[in-house]
Amino acid sequence: MQGIQMDLVSEDRLAKMPPVEKIRFIIDEVKSGKILVLEKGLTPEEEATLIEMTMTQIQPDDFAGIEMESYPSQTDGSFLGKLFKKSPVRTRLTVIGPANKLKTLKKDRDMISALVSNK
Task: Tell me: does residue 19 bind another protein (CB under 8 A).
Answer: no
Residue among 32, 25, 8 at smallest CA distance from 95 = 8
99: Cβ contacts below 8 Å, ≥ 6 apart: 64, 65, 66, 67
Residue among 101, 117, 114 at smallest CA distance from 65 = 101
Length of the chain: 119
Task: Tell me: does residue 18 bind another protein (CB under 8 A).
Answer: no
List binders of another protein among 54-73 (CB under 8 A). Answer: 54-56, 58, 60, 64-70, 72-73
Task: Tell me: does residue 28 bind another protein (CB under 8 A).
Answer: no
Residues forming contacts to another protein in the complex (CB under 8 A) are: 43-45, 47-49, 51-52, 54-56, 58, 60, 64-70, 72-73, 75, 88-89, 99, 106-109
